[in-house]
Structure 1
Amino acid sequence: MSSDSFDFPDIPEDLPDAAAAPVDFSTPDGFRSGFVSFVGRPNTGKSTLTNALVGEKIAITADQPETTRHPIRGIVHRRDSQVIVVDTPGLHRPRTLLGERLNEVVKETYADVDVIGLCIPADEKIGPGDRWILDAVRASAPKTPVIGIVTKLDKTSKDQVGAQLMELHDLLDGGEVIPVSAKEQVQLDVLLDVITEQLPEGPKFYPDDHITDDDRDTRMSELIREAALSGLHDELPHSVAVQIDEVFPSEEREGVLEIHAVIFLEREGQKRILRGKDNRRWGRIIHNSRKSLIDLLGQNVFLDLRMKVAKNWQSDPKQLGKLGF
């Protein structure tokens, strides 16, 4: 099934490649650059914080935990620094082979960053899962500085925020703790200042107009997955994967880009959940996916979206390989 066409202004297909143009990588004395990784339990606001710092949506967000499935690098450009934020999957006790592989990706990321930000929501008690994650971080990267980030300030009272700050401060053995609200844009500059102080002096890693190093197809597949997850409950989200099959200029529709993609599920019965009553949910998924793709690509899009079953793909090494995990 595909969506209806709408009229959008045409965008030239052969836009100049910013990476190919001459780039001034000269930096002033004292310029700092490096990588920071946000870690924490699933659904602690890491992706929302990444998007807020970068100033553009590069990581999908959803109400369900374990939404992020690969490290996403977002580039924050400042006058005195370049901060590369690495949004990682939430570290968790794995239930599937996919979960095990995601945990390994997270732990490998620790070794390659300059700063680690442990994210704890303001409205949730610090528990054994948070302590387990901190222990894993310290075991994997014993020399990397860890700062505490209390997220979602907008969801609770000032008294609760204060108590959370004190508890996280103690958990980090007196380490630095910063409260933020990505949604309300509160304390983001303060957080960046603290991160920058921990970074080494060095040159820019990316040109000034880069915001992420994710490729186009990965960003498109993630936007479709985000649309598919919207409104779903816990029984299905982990079973959803998306793959882009083909992308090419339409021969029948001038100025339109055709995108052919597949949503993979683990069981035949899960198709009914995505379709919804009278195919209404499926229609919304296609509509919302197409809208997000148009925003990303800057041109009109014809989306052909299908569903396929890859039985128990989360625990099948061959299927995981085909899906890029």
Structure 2
Amino acid sequence: MKSGTVAIIGKPNVGKSTILNAITGSKISIVSKHPATTRFRIIGVKTTDSYQIVFVDTPGIEKTRNRLGEIMQNNITAAIEDADIIVIVLDATHIDSEDERIIQQINTKIRNKKIIVALNKIDRVKPRTEVLSIIDRLTSHYNLKEIVPCSALTGENISEIERVIAENLSEGELIFPKDYTDTFPQTYKISEIIREKVFEHVYQEIPHSIAVEVEEIKPGDKNPDMVVITATIVVEKDNQKKIVIGKNGEKLKIIGSKARREIELMLGKKVYLQLRVKTIEKWRDRPDIFGRFGYGSI
């Protein structure tokens, strides 16, 4: 049996979470077309008869703007230090100086760990032969041995990334039980589903200042087979609160309806989801507040 931990790192919005979900075959991390969606060190587990891979999907590497951002970047450093294998995800359509800085930093600081590059979004590269040029450039400039061109969106070469990772695992016992796919409590999964739906509808107006706190999960009073969930969407300003709620509460209703359907699929039960919106000024600079949401502790 082989086993080991893998840190998935890279800039925001390069497809780290989509790759994790594609390899594990389940929705471990919420996915958005917008950058800086992931706030936790997301731990997903893929187990077969011959190996177990424990993935850590990290937030995007970027400059910090607040205390929460500092903790997120510290999580990346910790994930890299703890991992046996590092997977650097690059967007094949746009490799810039920040990507190069990340590669150089990992090459310089990391010793005795396997580095694999997942060259993502190749389905968007035209002409397709340009992918080979990118691989040649990365190989010659940075002495990278394992570069896997892939598309997390279409699934192309995702199995090859898994194969290369598994090939570089060491012999070892299972880290988690065979049936584990992630390490998260139910409240976290529910809050992330709601946050994803908020992102889908108000990201342009409120890019980073949204959090969700699940306050209560209980059986229904009249129908014990129904799950009643009370959750609060947290914003930083009162005008943001109005945006989330929408005219006559319509936007909040849409967010709640979409979140409820996905939560019902996850729980296998009917759900009554009660959402409210609350303003907490500068919550991202207040560890006492964002610690309540689990940020920095998972």
TM bin, normalised by shorter chain, reads over 0.9
List structure 1 runs of 4+ shifted beyond 6 angstroms: none
| 2:281 aligned to which of 302, 311, 315 | 311
CA distance in 2, matches of 1:40, 1:171: 18
Residue aligning to 1:264? 234
TM-score (norm 2): 0.93
How far off its partner does 1:166 sit?
A: 2.2
| Unmatched 5+ stretches in structure 1 | 1-30
How far off its partner does 1:276 sit?
A: 2.6
8 A contact 1:123–1:160 mirrored in 2: no
| 1:276 aligned to which of 239, 246, 252 | 246
Residue aligning to 1:15? none
Once the two structures are superposed, the pairs formed by residues 215-254 of structure 1 within 5 Å of their partners are 215-254=185-224
Residue aligning to 1:193? 163
8 A contact 1:68–1:89 mirrored in 2: yes
Residue aligning to 1:46? 16
Residue aligning to 1:300? 270
Higher mean alpha-carbon deviation, 138-147 vs 209-218, is at 138-147
How far off its partner does 1:163 sit?
A: 2.4
Seen in structure 2, the aligned counterparts of structure 1 residues 132 and 227 have a Cα distance that, compared at 3 Å, is same
| Unmatched 5+ stretches in structure 2 | none
8 A contact 1:148–1:169 mirrored in 2: no
Residue aligning to 1:148? 117
SS, match of residue 177 in structure 1: strand
CA distance in 2, matches of 1:221, 1:74: 17
8 A contact 1:110–1:140 mirrored in 2: no
CA distance in 1, matches of 2:141, 2:173: 34
SS, match of residue 106 in structure 1: helix
SS, match of residue 213 in structure 2: strand
SS, match of residue 95 in structure 1: coil
Seen in structure 2, the aligned counterparts of structure 1 residues 318 and 174 have a Cα distance that, compared at 3 Å, is closer
Residue aligning to 2:129? 159
The one-letter amino acid paired with 2:190 is: M
How far off its partner does 1:318 sit?
A: 2.8
How far off its partner does 1:159 sit?
A: 2.1
How far off its partner does 1:216 sit?
A: 1.0
TM-score (norm 1): 0.86
Once the two structures are superposed, the pairs formed by residues 59-138 of structure 1 within 5 Å of their partners are 59-124=29-94, 126-138=95-107
Higher mean alpha-carbon deviation, 154-163 vs 183-192, is at 154-163
How far off its partner does 1:175 sit?
A: 2.3
Aligned CA RMSD, in angstroms, stands at 1.6
The number of residue pairs the alignment matches comes to 294
SS, match of residue 93 in structure 2: coil
CA distance in 1, matches of 2:23, 2:253: 32
The one-letter amino acid paired with 2:157 is: Q
Seen in structure 2, the aligned counterparts of structure 1 residues 323 and 136 have a Cα distance that, compared at 3 Å, is farther
Any idea what the Cα deviations from partners look like across 1:136-185, whole Å, max 9, x if unmatched? 43465433221111011222231232222223323431321001112222
The one-letter amino acid paired with 1:62 is: S
SS, match of residue 150 in structure 1: strand
Higher mean alpha-carbon deviation, 294-303 vs 151-160, is at 151-160
SS, match of residue 238 in structure 1: coil
How far off its partner does 1:118 sit?
A: 0.5
